[in-house]
Homo-oligomer: A and B are copies of this chain.
């Protein structure tokens, strides 16, 4: 098995053990990844950036991205389940807004990163 071979070939066992100690547990890693995955999609990223300006309804977001309302609604469900957005009903429409300030912090870091890439190219 590869697993065994790798155990035998592990070069710096002390480094690996130290790394294991500083790494968060599997549950925390999963929560971090879930949040990152929520942002790591062109559609959802644009939705989050748009909602940072003002709340919007599903049809607006669908029009913004040029996708069906069903597709937009699926994305909003995902963001809702990740506790990144909330909605407010006004008549027939649901207005979505951001509820998490960390998301925009991360998006800003990503923007800065890309801006620096552009300079260094």
User: Which residues of A are in contact with B by a Cβ distance under 8 Å?
Assistant: 2-3, 6-7, 9-13, 15-16, 18-20, 22-24, 26, 28-33, 35-37, 39-42, 45-46, 49-50, 53-54, 56-57, 59-60, 62-64, 66, 68-70, 83, 93, 100, 102, 105-107, 109-114, 116-117
Contacts and interface: CB of A to CB of B under 8 A. Distances in A.
A39 to B, nearest CB: 5
Contacts of A6: 59, 62-63, 68-69
B15 A60 contact: yes
Main secondary structure of the interface of A (DSSP, over half): helix
Contacts of A112: 102
Contacts of A36: 36, 39-40, 45, 106, 110
Contact of A15 (B3, B46, B56): B56
B70 A35 contact: no
Contacts of A102: 109-110, 112-113, 116
Given A12-B57, A15-B60, A24-B114, 6 more contacts: A6-B59, A9-B59, A9-B63, A11-B59, A23-B46, A102-B116
